[in-house]
Amino acid sequence: MSAVHAHLLHRPGNTPVHRLAPQVKVVAAVTGVLCVVATPRERFWAFGLYLAVLAGVWVIARIPPGWLAARALIEVPFVVLALAFPFLAGGPTVEFLGLRLSEHGLLSGWNIAVKGTLGVLVSLTLAATTTPGELIVGLQRLRVPTMVITIATLMLRYLDVIAAEARRMRIARICRGHDPRFLWQVGATARGIGTLFIRSYERGERVHLAMVSRGWTGAMPDQGQPAGRRTWLVGLIPTALAAIVLGIAL
């Protein structure tokens, strides 16, 4: 897809995970996350097994843990919240290094941190092995409403066009002596955003015209083959493992 997104979250490759039909990957990721979320928080071992299954996928997809770790930083605010729980929650407490920590808070914090982290890692694995374009085709094959698909497709493409337009407008402002360093100078930037909105709206109209002129009637043409039973079976192995873990944990 576009330069920005492609390099940020997608990691091009030609592994079995990369080649797997996108709709299978989407289903595997969603059900995998559901298994994690449904697991009781006290079953610490289950989360370790989930991570092991995921790590297996990383090995096959050849994704280095460091690459994922750098992108998992998005989760930091939630981890900070989770760390605050043991200090803020009430109920029975335990002593640790001279600190009085709430038992209930510890478990709540752990719950958020572990499930959030696994969720982020699953999403990153999906994004790393599937281009945004494939993702959209996958969603389409899963019968997600065409309007949602169309909006997502256009957003992916035009985010960069609009970002480039915003960049040009900013440069043009700076060239005319605009130096927005203080809060009271934000007016021109705000008006710029307003103009950008209108321009994007007009561009949206023109894009739509160009699509209609090429015979578009609401659905993106899907040139791929539907995934066979074998693809589904193989692709859902990690999810099946997660489901077994969940079954034991419950």
Partner 1 sequence: MTPPALLVERLAYAYPDGHQALFGVNLRVEQGERVAILGPNGAGKTTLVLHLNGVLTGQGKVAVTGLEVNKQNMKEVRRRVGIVFQDPDDQLFMPTVRDDVAFGPANFGLRGPELDARVKRALDDVGMTEHADRSPLHLSGGQRRRVALATVLACDPDVLVLDEPSANLEPRARRELAEVLLGLGRTTVMVTHDLPYALQLCPRSVLVDGGVVVADGPTRDLLADGALLARHRLELPFGFRLD
**Touching partner 1, residues 151-170 (CB under 8 A):** 153-154, 156-158, 160-161
- Whether 24 and 135 have beta carbons less than 8 Å apart is answered as no
Nearer residue to partner 1 within complex by CB, 131 or 239:
131
- Site size toward partner 1 (CB under 8 A) is 27
Q: Which residues of 120-136 are buried (b: 16+ CB within 10 A; e: fewer)?
A: bbbbbbbbbbbbbbbbb
The verdict on 211 binding partner 1 (CB under 8 A) reads: yes
Q: Are 34 and 122 in contact (CB under 8 A)?
A: no
Q: Return the number of other C-beta atoms located less than 10 Å from residue 207's C-beta.
A: 15
Residue of the chain from 8, 37, 216, 237 that contacts partner 1 (CB under 8 A): 216
31 binds partner 1, rule: CB under 8 A: no
Residue 43 within binding range of partner 1, rule CB under 8 A: no
Phi-psi region of 71 (alpha: psi -120 to 50; beta: other; left: phi over 0): alpha
Nearest residue to 103 via CA among 123, 115, 88:
88
Residue of the chain from 92, 221, 226, 247 that contacts partner 1 (CB under 8 A): 221
**30 lies in the site for partner 1, by CB under 8 A:** no
Residues 176 and 90: their CA atoms lie apart, in Å, by 58
Which residue in 176, 181, 206, 230 binds partner 1 (CB under 8 A)? Answer: 206
Only one of the segments 93-101, 141-149, 216-224, 239-247 lies at the binding site for partner 1 (rule: CB under 8 A); that segment is 216-224
Residues forming contacts to partner 1 in the complex (CB under 8 A) are 1-3, 131-133, 153-154, 156-158, 160-161, 203, 206-207, 209-217, 221, 223
